[in-house]
Amino acid sequence: MATVLLDRVTKRFGRVRAVDGVTLEVRDGEFMVLLGPSGCGKTTALRCVAGLERMDAGRIVIGGEDVTDRQPGRRGIAMVFQSYAVFPHMTVRDNITFGLRIRKTPAEETRQRTLQAAELLQIGELLDRYPAQLSGGQRQRVAVARAIVMQPEVLLMDEPLSNLDALLRLQMRAELKRLHRETRATTVYVTHDQVEALSLGDRIAVMRSGAIVQCDTPSAIYNRPASTFVGGFIGSPPMNFFGGTVEEGGRSVRVAGTVLGLEERWAGAEGIRAGGEVLVGVRPEAFEVTTETRAGAFPAVVVVIEPLGGTTLLTVSVDGETAKVTVAPDTDHDPGQRVWLRPLPDRLRLMEPGSGRAVIPTQEGARR
Ligand SMILES: Nc1ncnc2c1ncn2[C@@H]1O[C@H](COP(=O)(O)OP(=O)(O)OP(=O)(O)O)[C@@H](O)[C@H]1O
Ligand SMILES: [Mg+2]
């Protein structure tokens, strides 16, 4: 196993800064997810780690050694690509052993390692089949087995589940998690699927336009997004943002004509001053919804009701703006109905309207 360090990495394609001064430290045995919208530079960053791109600036350090000038084959990594290509004319066994044969690994060791990898991925029965005789999920497992049979110190995966249907993705996601627990290979995993990122990552690095905008545990990213971008990108549906005005020196905020009390930690936080504008960020599940007025709740009108089985999703209108709210499935709502939304005080976040940056409450600031 090994640590992986991207040290001020920059990669340009003509005028495009695909990766723009990224520094990221992946711990030994950690599962790090690179998450961000299409074109933000995830694949390019991963290819820089693999040695498949010549960087314009920066270093790649693996296991404490600067590998910037080393060939991909000499970096102790294995990669599963975005469009996983298994060789169609080779059996599953030959696909898996391909890399070992190139390395002239002794036959008995090759056999042992192949069986081990096949067992980990539960494709032991499929070794003599050809890829055309496999399901998408099985083919996917062959691609992963082919990578882990190399016993890499570092496993790089670029959207390995993107070609699978929803159910298979769900299954493979759990399998990848189990696989990581068993191999403990330091992993860098690229995805634009935020649910995948939340479920797999020890930590998530959120990328935007070639830069990392937040790197933290899934729960910190979900509950304490560093910006409106992160809050809006993570979560399905994403975080709601309401325009508000700070009152009483930061002890309350006015939203949709209603005064909402703020927890003490917001008064005195940087960016909070009386009369100032803020965005109040609330996750869809972090409201109490009632049909009668009450303190700390602002009015909204129900527009759309979507029963989703385990929960029901309401689209509501607040002062002409749309918001999404999840409620229990057995609640009665009608389109046009007036409801009151009370954000749970401990779940509410404040953001600066111009920059979109999160306001850091005082205790959290002290914890950092
Ligand atoms: N070989 C290339 N030549 C020119 N531009 C490139 C090349 N590869 C990537 N880019 C550009 O660099 C930027 C980052 O691309 P990259 O493939 O890293 O994005 P990504 O985050 O992996 O996106 P996706 O989620 O769509 O796979 C994009 O603007 C892309 O058009
Ligand atoms: Mg990509």
Question: Cα(360)–Cα(350) distance, rounded to whole angstroms?
Answer: 8
End-to-end CA distance of the chain: 29
Instruction: Establish whether domains 4-231 and 238-367 are of one fold.
Output: no
User: What is 4-231's CATH superfamily?
Assistant: P-loop containing nucleotide triphosphate hydrolases (3.40.50.300)
Q: Which of 11, 35, 40 to mutate to test the pocket of ligand 1 (most atoms within 8 A of CB)?
A: 40
Asked if residue 206 has its Cβ within 6 Å of ligand 1, the reply is no
Per-residue pLDDT of the chain (368 residues; tens, 9 = 90+): 699 999 999 999 999 999 999 999 999 999 999 999 999 999 999 999 999 999 999 999 999 999 999 999 899 999 998 776 789 999 999 999 999 998 899 999 999 999 988 988 889 999 999 999 998 888 888 998 999 898 899 999 999 888 777 887 888 888 889 889 988 999 999 999 999 999 999 999 999 999 999 999 999 999 999 999 999 999 989 999 999 999 988 899 999 999 999 999 998 888 888 889 999 999 999 999 999 999 999 999 999 999 999 999 999 999 989 999 999 998 899 999 999 999 999 999 999 999 999 999 887 655 55
Spans of all domains in the chain: 4-231, 238-367
**Which residue has its alpha carbon closest to ligand 1 atom 1?**
13
**Which residue has its alpha carbon closest to ligand 1 atom 6?**
13
**Which residue has its alpha carbon closest to ligand 1 atom 3?**
13
CA 287 to chain centre: 24
Domain 238-367 CATH assignment equals 2.40.50.140: yes
pTM of the model: 0.91
